[in-house]
Amino acid sequence: MIHPEDITGMVLAGGRGTRMGGIDKGLQPFQGTPLALHALQRLRPQVGRCMINANRNLGTYAGFGVPVHADTVADYAGPLAGFVAGLKHCPTPWLLTIPCDSPRLPLDLAQRMAHTAEREQALIVLAAAPELQRDGQLQLRAQPVFALLHTSLLTSLQDFVQKGGRKIDAWTAQHPQALCCFNLANDDEHAFTNANTLQELQALEGKT
């Protein structure tokens, strides 16, 4: 069994924030709290330990009370660089990553992801949630930045990134993986909605 204390949660806040004009997305307010801190507060009760991946304003992030680790891969290499930093510093067998810009992430995320890993004997579990398609139909879609990763994957991921790999699905496809579906009747339809712009952030703040 995978227990909460077997999992370290990591908030990914190391991006450029390009679509927000280059500002540090994780420090933008949501309901009066910085996005990264808001995400951390939702994640913290679910796991044994937490940390943050950030590449600027490290002192501010350190003030949130958990370890902060910057990318070891240069030039803002994307979420996989954050995965590498997390796996390198993870003190538990499992790492659970979440983005800083999805403030309504499920409060039972870790539990359900862990159950899927146990049931499917997977080394990687990705969250999946319904998304509205252009034809008006809902379709389950993987949310690859919400990932439960076994720490034995570090060497594989480092090799992939060092060779220029940047796409999460191209790396995860190399290992036993499973999807954890968040499509139950009482699941929040906005749980995995992310805010890429300030306008999207304001809209998400107004949703009930």
The fraction of the chain above a pLDDT of 70, given in percent, is 99
- 129 phi, psi to nearest 5 deg: -145, 155
Which residue, 77, 78, 79, 57, is CA-closest to 68?
A: 57
Q: Which of 29-33, 87-91, 203-207 has the highest mean pLDDT?
A: 87-91
Instruction: Kindly indicate the confidence band of residue 48, based on its pLDDT and cuts at 50, 70 and 90.
Output: very high
Residue 153: both structure tokens together: 């994957």
Identify the CA nearest to 66 among candidates 55, 83, 54, 51.
51
CA distances (Å), 122 to each of 97, 114, 140, 170, 174, in order? 16, 10, 19, 16, 12
Which residues span the domain enclosing 189? 4-206
Residue range 113-171, pLDDT digits in tens:
999 999 999 999 999 999 877 777 778 999 999 999 999 999 999 999 999 999 999 99
Contact yes or no for 146/126 (Cβ under 8 A) = yes
Among 43-57, 66-80, 194-208, the minimum mean pLDDT is found in: 194-208
% residues pLDDT > 90 (the chain): 80
Angle at which helix 154-162 crosses helix 79-89, to 10 degrees, equals: 140
Question: Nearest to residue 194, comparing CAs of 126, 129, 117, 137?
Answer: 129
Specify the pTM.
0.95
Q: Residue 78: what pLDDT?
A: 87
Cα-Cα-Cα-Cα dihedral sign, residues 160, 163, 164, 170: negative
In the numeric block, which tokens belong to residue 104? Answer: 């309504």
Could you tell me the CATH number of the domain that includes residue 136?
A: 3.90.550.10
Q: What is the mean pLDDT of the chain?
A: 93
Structure tokens given for 103: 């403030």
Q: Please check the confidence at residue 180 and state whether its pLDDT lies above 80.
A: yes
How far is residue 103's CA from residue 110's CA, in Å, rounded to a whole number?
Answer: 15
Asked if 188 and 107 touch (Cβ cutoff 8 Å), the reply is no
- Residue owning tokens 């190399």: 174
Please state the domain count of the chain: 1
